[in-house]
Structure formats: C-alpha cells, structure tokens
A and B are shown apart, each in its own frame.
Chain A
C-alpha cells in the first residue's frame, strides 16, 4: 500500500531535493539572521563592533586592503560594516511592503472572487484604476505625498506614527503593489468556488466567513507564498530607485544610498562602495529568484507526478 502524502509534505520533499534552492535558502536565512541580529543589538543597546558603521576605521576613501576588506567611504568608515548594516533597511522595507500588499490584496481579492456582484465590481474598479497609472509614477506620487505627514492611528490604539524615511518608502510601495496579488487571489477563488468541497460546505450551512478563512484561503496560500518570495526582490530594487530620487532612508546606511553615492564616486575612480552594495543586492536577489522558482515548481499542482 502506498502511504498517502499530504500536499505540503510532498512539496517540501520535492524542494529539499533541489540542491541549488537549498543553498539559496541558506543565503536567505543568513541575510534574515543578520537583520534580526541588528534589530536585537539595537533593542538591547549592545555595542557590537562590526555593526558600528559610523566609526572611523581608516583614512577617507581607502581602497580595499587587508585592514578594511571593502575599503572606506568619504568619512573613513568601513564599507563592509555599512554593507552589513544596510541589509536592515533593504530587508525591512521589502518585508513590510510585502506584508502591506498582502494584507490589502488578499482580503480584497478573496471578497471579490467569493461574493462577486457589487463588491467584485468595486474592487475590480479600484485595482483597474490603480493599475492604469504607471507604477513608478504612482509610487513616487505616494512617497512624495506621504513625506512628513503623521498617521493618526489612535483609533486603532497604536498612537501616532510619524512618517519618515523607511516608513514612507514601504508604505508607498505597499499601498501601490497589492494589485497583482489581488487579481491572482480573485481568479483562484472564483475557480475554487465551483469546486465540490465548497458546494458541499455551502450545502450544510457553513457561513461565508468560515468558508473563506477555513477553506479558501488555505487552498490559495501557496500562491501567496510564491508571490511573496518573487515580489520581495522587486521591492529591494525599488528601494534603490527611491533612494536615487531622494526619498529613502537617510540616517543609516542603505544599499540604495551607497549606489547613489557612486554618482559622485565613480568619476573620481572610487568603485568599491558601489560594488559592495551591488553585490549585496545581487546575492539576495539571486537567492530569492532561485528559491522562489523552486518553490513555485514544487507547489504547482500541475507539476505533481501522479
């Protein structure tokens, strides 16, 4: 007798066999650990030497050498430390942007696909309107407009949040990037609604919210995961562009700001800061792309061998 395997266990097994994807996962985990370590160190206010990016470790604009592997910047600070600390900005932005876009896109998409009718019309109207506007213009407009404003979330019990730097960026990206996931979820929910298990649930009087949360969403969850991993890269790259346009984080190092500095540095022949940031972005993007692809392959029901 063949032992039955659940969908998730099957996918996991397939994934584990993909060696390149496992290495990529390793890289991703390293990045995440670094960022969490940074947050921990900041929260407990411990001084860790390799995280002290503001310390002067050498002369200004030193080429990479034995003492400073990646060289120094215009104030003599270690490029290596700045690159490590820069992960914090990039990953935080990408993470929150993804969360926000999922928190908006999934409920709206599920509601639209499930209830159809008027709700569907409204949701489709909203996202068609938003997607008509060129993406980069929309992000820029939101970012410009959100700067310096304070969010009054007292009604939610969260107090007032002052928007600046990082929060403006991930809010702007998040608020404009939920359309794709919304569309996807909506299409899937519409398909699933016809399936027998939903009809069965409806027939024995299951409430709508139970159906949505207990049955539908778990079944489209794999799409959310895939979307998350693939979009993450785009968000990291978006931070670079926003930094270039003067809208990013300014008080701590970020990869986008380091590349932006290259506009002044490259003509003078200082290539190391930009190369370090580019390499850091490149590595995490590569890892996410490979892992995301493998994830999609392993979770795609069509590819399952019967």
Chain B
C-alpha cells in the first residue's frame, strides 16, 4: 500500500515509548553465548524460551511461554516430553526466505542446544548441559575431533534430544534433574533459527532473531539501543491474577490486554552515576532498564525517600533478591583451613547491621547462612546455629583461641577484592576498621575482575569477597557451591569438602520439590554453617525507582523479559515538566 511508506516518516501520535538506562555495555545478543546481566536483559525482550515466570504471582512460579503446557515427566524422572505452541513465528528478518519469519519448530531447540555443546562455538553456557542429557556430551566430544567449525555435522543424532514431530520435544536425562524446568526459562536455552546462524555467522551477536514481543531496531554501539514492537508477536495477554495487593496497587488495571503494551523501548547507556541520576530526576528516564539495577550508588536512602524525591512523586519498590553476599575462606589455606576459631572470630568481628546501613541504604537483611529468605527451605533459626553474630567480646575471645591453635601470634591475612573503584575501597576501609577492633590484622588486596577470578581458580586467594545470585528458586543452586566435586576451578570457591554434606546433597538434588527435600536442604546447610567456610554478610534486597507515570512495574527476582508488561501514562508524564517548573 502506497500510504504505508509515508506514514513511517510522520511521527505517530499513538506511538508509546519507554525510556530506560543501563550502566554497562551490552556485549552481545546471542543467547547461546550470553553471560552478562545487561545483555541478558536486552536480549530477553527479543528472544524467548520454553518457559517463563509469572509476572505477578508470588511465590515465583513458572508458566509456559513457547511451550504448550508444563512438561510431561516420566515416572523415573528421566524423560521430559514438551509440546511446542503451534503457529509461533520468528520475527521477520532478511535471513529467512522472502524476509518472512518462519514458524517455530521443536528442532530449533535441538539446534540451539547442540550449538552450545559444540566446542567450536566457544559457548560460556555449556555448564547448563554438562553431563545432563543423554548423548550430548558425546556430541561435544565429537565436535572436538572436527578440524574446523564448518565440519561439524548438526544432523548427527543425539539420543537425548528427539523431535518425533515438529511440535514435540523429548528430552532424555542421565539422571533426574528437577531443576531443568527452571533452566528452560533461562535465556541461553532459547531456540535458534538455523537460517539466522548461517546468514549472520559471527555477526549474530548484533542481529538477534527471536520470537519475542520486540525486535531490534537501532543499536548505536556504546550509546543506545532501540527496540520496536514485533508486529507478528503471538497472542499473549497481561495476567489477570496476582498477589492480594496487586489490584490495590493498580497492577491489574491492564489485565487481559494484548502484549506488549508499549510500542518502543529505548535504553541509553550511561556508565557514570551523576548523569544517570540527573537524567532520571529530569524525567527523561522512566525506569531503570535492568530489573536488578538501581541507583543505589547515586542516592542516599538511609531513612526513606528524601523530600526532594517525594515532591517529584518518585516511587520506590523494594524486593527480596535471591542473593547472598559473603567473604569466603579458602578452606585449603594453611592458616585458615585448620583453624575454626579464627574463621568464627573473623565472622563475629563484622557488624552486619552497620554494613547494611552504610552500603545498602538500610535495605538488606543480615545473613548467617547462604540460603536466602526467599527460598522455602530458609531456616529462620540459622543465626543461632551459626553463632557468628556481631560480638566484639566473642571475637576477641575466639582470636585468643585461634592463637593457641596456631601456636603463635596470628600472621597477616589477605582479603581479595574484585575491583579497584571507590565502592570497593569503601568496603575495604569498612572491613579494616572492624577487623582491627577485634585484634585481627587483615590486608585488603584490590584487583580487577579477571585477576580476581584467576586467583580464585588457582586457589591462591586466602579470603575473597564474592556472592551468589540465585539463577532460579531452588536452593540446589546454592548448595552446589559447597559440593566437593565442584572445587576450583569449579564453582566451589571455598574448596569446601565434607563427605556427609556430599551425600545429603547428592540425594536431595535429584528429588522433586517437597517438604522432605526442604528438610534435607536445611540439614545440608547446617553442616556447612557449622564449619564456617565464610563470613556470610547479607541477603540482597534490591530496589527499583520509577516515576509515577511508569505503570505496571513490579520487581521480579528472576525474570528479565518484563518490559512487555510496562507502559507509560502520557498525561502524567506531560504533567511532570510542569511539576518540575513549580519546584524550582
């Protein structure tokens, strides 16, 4: 139609835009090799996986996204049959014949996962499938024997990934893996169109092709990203149920509407805090672009929203993040590993409440164990079990005991910090004060992230500042950090090894969710805590700041693809500039 070409040039009065900002560069939008939060957040608007999290319901639950329904699991827990929705199409893209998006098939998932297994592809995400699916590890071995990337034959069959028809996917596992459903909601397991991979080659990180509610329109590298509504997005609707408070908070006002609610998403890269904060206060940024990002560094919320912010009708949402932060001990270290009183002394020396006040704007929760309060198996009594609450007298007593065990005055200890900028320095200064008060000599070693990772992988860090953000709501994700088979260079940075723990872990992690499993998880955590492998510091409580015209914002601890639910109230937004003028 001739008219359509011209309408693209005139600004559309019905065009709705949501502006947000991100604080780190986007590395690449290829789900198979995606590893950083920013890239995941952006790519999640464009690409979807089999499952997703319900936006409003808590506790968090999974609902189908590209799948037709929840998977059918065989009695022995080794076979998962998943039906794919019919009629879902990839977005229109030049990589397809005549530019039209092709219908999604079950084979697209198999292709994507084989690609991750392909060693030539150098994917960071192989750990998801490592030793899980029948035949996939053998496929990986096969790709090691191929000389070049082009030699790998993707038609080579993998027994554990079958597609009896275009809309059915059958996965066969080596052993029960109840967490698989969560991982099927994780972006790296999203389907890939082979046409896109062949057409774009290595450039696919700049040209994501997905089934999601948005398409990539403009990407000025290092500057901003613009996404636009995908016109052939399948029918998906705003949820009509949620938590008891949601209706009152206006979160159900758009129930039943077809998604996405906003035409365009523009997210600007701002790496310095002052301009990001100024732009937010000026009303140019509607909401922070990354669900877990916040302006915590730029604002001081130790009491509450400042009058300045209240006058601007800025809203503050806090939510429990499934995260725990700690200063871990290397249990294989000569000094720390054999000296339990020393480890406990270090833990008793740190004032967690003061830390929360200074560094998290009073919105964290002190941690004495590693399972976050969000999980059903969280043990409210863990503080008493640990016996490592802040207590200077205790700490000093324990130091004396530690000296007795060590045989002489304690040597200087080193704590590795994964960064050199001002926030890390403040952490270091804080810690030194408290350790000194307890009579401990600790030196803080600041280094950049790659050097830090290297130290941990090679077991050369004595103490290290780190944490873990849960990828999904199953505590197995945290327990695996203490499993002896995951010792460095694996994820068990503590190099913790306890056969009793291992036994309970191995039994529990293949059990489906149940009160019995929760009890086992609790027991496992207790074993670890009694050995004090770290100073557990806080559980994260994240927060999001928005303007009052940014609607349907509900923070989510796991989901990234949530922009489709949000929209901007144009009347209220226009009123803001008036408000700013009166405030001057």
Complex: A in contact with B (CB within 8 Å): yes
**Interface residue B430 (Cβ < 8 Å from any Cβ of A):** yes
CA distance A247 to B446 in the complex (A): 10
Which of A54, A263, A266, A267: most chain B Cβ within 10 A?
A267
**Are A246 and B433 within 8 A (Cβ)?**
no
In whole angstroms, what is the CA distance A267 to B272 when docked?
11
Q: What chain B residues lie within 8 Å of A261 (beta carbons)? A: 422, 426
Knowing A148-B447, A250-B425, A263-B274 touch, does A74 contact B358 (C-beta < 8 A)?
yes
The answer on a CB contact under 8 Å between B422 and A264 is yes
Which residues does chain A contribute within 8 Å of B297, judged by CB atoms? Answer: 264
A257 within 8 A of B: yes
Residues of chain A in range 62-79 having any CB-CB distance to chain B below 8 Å: 74-75
Closest to B302 in A: A60
Q: Are B274 and A267 in contact (CB under 8 A)?
A: yes
A267 and B482 CA atoms in complex are apart in Å by 41
- Separation of A148 and B447 alpha carbons in the complex (Å): 9
Closest to A269 in B: B300
Q: Verify B298–A264 contact, CB threshold 8 A.
A: yes
* B358 adjacent to A75 (CB under 8 Å): yes
Residues of B with C-beta under 8 A to A257: 422, 425
A38 to chain B, nearest CB (A): 19
Q: Answer yes or no: B111 CB below 8 A from chain A CBs.
A: no
Q: Does A268 contact B (CB under 8 A)?
A: yes
Q: Are A75 and B274 also in contact (CB < 8 A) when A148-B451, A247-B420 are?
A: no
B451 lies within 8 A of A264 (CB): no
Q: Is A49 an interface residue when CB atoms closer than 8 A count as contact?
A: no
Q: How many angstroms between the C-alpha atoms of A301 and B570 in the bound complex?
A: 73
The distance in angstroms between the C-alpha atoms of A78 and B149, with both chains bound, is 61
Q: In the complex, how many angstroms separate the beta carbon of A246 from the nearest chain B beta carbon?
A: 4
Q: Nearest Cβ distance between residue A167 and chain B, in whole angstroms?
A: 15
Decide: A54 and B433 in contact? CB cutoff 8 A.
yes
Q: Is the CB of A246 within 8 A of B420?
A: yes
What is the interface size of chain B, counting residues whose CB is below 8 A from a CB of the partner?
28
Against B, the Cβ 8 Å flags (1 = close, 0 = not) of A248-266 are: 0011000001001101101
Q: Does B341 contact A (CB under 8 A)?
A: no
Report yes or no: A264 in contact with B423, Cβ–Cβ below 8 A: yes
B9 within 8 A of partner (CB): no
B451: A residues at CB distance < 8 A? 148
> Across the interface, do A267 and B358 meet the contact criterion of CB distance under 8 Å?
no
Across-interface contacts of B421 in A (CB, < 8 A): 246, 260
A141-157, CB under 8 A of B: which get 1 and which 0? 00000001000000000
- Does the CB pair A266–B274 fall under 8 Å? yes
**In the complex the two chains form, what is the Cα distance from A179 to B300 in whole Å?**
47
Chain A residues near B236 (CB-CB < 8 A): none
For residue B142, CB closer than 8 A to chain A, the reply is: no
Q: Measured between alpha carbons, how far is A250 from B430 in the docked complex, in Å? A: 13
- Determine whether the beta carbon of A263 is less than 8 Å from that of B420: no
Q: Which residues of B contact A250 (CB under 8 A)?
A: 420, 425, 428, 444, 446
Residue in A closest to B357 when the chains form the complex, CB atoms: A60
- A60-B358, A75-B429, A148-B447 as given contacts; A268 in contact with B299, CB under 8 Å: yes
Is A268 in contact with B358, judged by CB distance below 8 angstroms?
A: no
Q: How far is the CB of A172 from chain B (nearest CB, A)?
A: 15
Q: Which residues of B contact A74 (CB under 8 A)?
A: 358, 426
Evaluate contact between B273 and A264: CB separation under 8 angstroms.
Answer: yes
Q: Does B317 count as interface, using CB distance less than 8 angstroms?
A: no
**Residues on A with beta carbons closer than 8 Å to the beta carbon of B199:** none
With a 10 A CB-CB cut-off, give which of B419, B433, B444, B451 has the most chain A CB atoms: B433
In the bound complex, what is the Cα–Cα distance between A261 and B298 (angstroms)? 11
Identity of the chain B residue whose Cβ is nearest the Cβ of A266 in the assembled complex: B274
Distance in angstroms from B326 CB to nearest chain A CB is 21
Q: In the complex the two chains form, what is the Cα distance from A264 to B299 in whole Å?
A: 8
Compute how far the CA of A150 lies from the CA of B419 in the bound complex, rounded to whole angstroms.
Answer: 21
Q: Which residues of B contact A251 (CB under 8 A)?
A: 428, 443-444
A75→B433 contact, CB < 8 A? yes
The reply to whether B278 and A75 form a contact with Cβ atoms under 8 Å apart is no
By a CB distance below 8 angstroms, the chain B residues around A60 are: 358
Supposing A251-B444, A268-B299 touch, asked if A263 and B433 sit within 8 A by C-beta, the answer is: no
State in angstroms the CA–CA spacing of A257 and B94 once bound together. Answer: 51
Is there a chain A Cβ closer than 8 Å to B448's Cβ? yes
Known: A75-B358, A148-B451, A250-B425. A267 touches B433 (CB 8 A): no
* Those of B234-282 within 8 Å (CB) of chain A: 272-274, 277-278
Bitwise, A261-285 to B at CB < 8 A (1) or not (0) is 1011011100000000000000000
Contacts of B430 in A (CB 8 A): 75
CB distance from A245 to the nearest CB of B (A): 9
- CB of B87, distance to nearest CB on chain A (Å): 49
Q: Quick one: closest B residue to A268, CB to CB?
A: B300
Interface centre among A60, A75, A264, A268 (most CB of B within 10 A): A264
Whether A263 and B358, one on each chain, are in contact in the complex, defined by CB atoms closer than 8 angstroms, is no
C-alpha gap A79/B422 in the complex (Å): 16
**With a CB–CB cut-off of 8 A, which chain B residues contact A263?**
272-274, 422
**Are A267's CB and B422's CB within 8 A?**
no
Q: How far is the CA of A250 from the CA of B422 in the complex (A)?
A: 9
User: Which residues of B in the span 272-312 have a Cβ within 8 Å of any Cβ on A?
Assistant: 272-274, 277-278, 297-300
The residues of B that contact A246 with a CB separation of less than 8 Å are 419-421, 446, 448
Of B273, B420, B428, B429, which contacts A267 at CB under 8 A? B273
Residues on A with beta carbons closer than 8 Å to the beta carbon of B447:
148
Contacts of A56 in B (CB 8 A): 433
Contact in complex: A267, B444 (CB < 8 Å): no
Q: Which residues of B contact A75 (CB under 8 A)?
A: 358, 426, 429-430, 433
Could you give, for residues 164-197 of chain A, a 1 whenever the CB lies within 8 Å of some chain B CB and a 0 otherwise? 0000000000000000000000000000000000
Contacting A at CB under 8 A, from B433-462, are 433, 443-444, 446-448, 451
Name the B residues within 8 Å of A264 (CB-CB): 273, 297-298, 422-423
Chain A nearest Cβ from B361, distance in angstroms: 11
Interface set, chain A 55-99, CB cutoff 8 A to B: 56, 60-61, 74-75
What are 13 A-B contacts defined by CB distance under 8 Å?
A56-B433, A74-B358, A250-B425, A250-B428, A257-B422, A257-B425, A260-B421, A264-B422, A267-B277, A267-B299, A268-B298, A268-B299, A268-B300
Q: A247-B420, A250-B428 are in contact. List 20 more A-B contacts (CB 8 A).
A: A54-B433, A61-B300, A75-B358, A75-B426, A75-B429, A75-B433, A148-B447, A250-B420, A250-B425, A250-B444, A250-B446, A251-B428, A251-B443, A260-B421, A260-B422, A263-B274, A264-B422, A266-B274, A267-B299, A268-B300
Chain B contacts to A: CB under 8 angstroms: 272-274, 277-278, 297-300, 358, 419-423, 425-426, 428-430, 432-433, 443-444, 446-448, 451
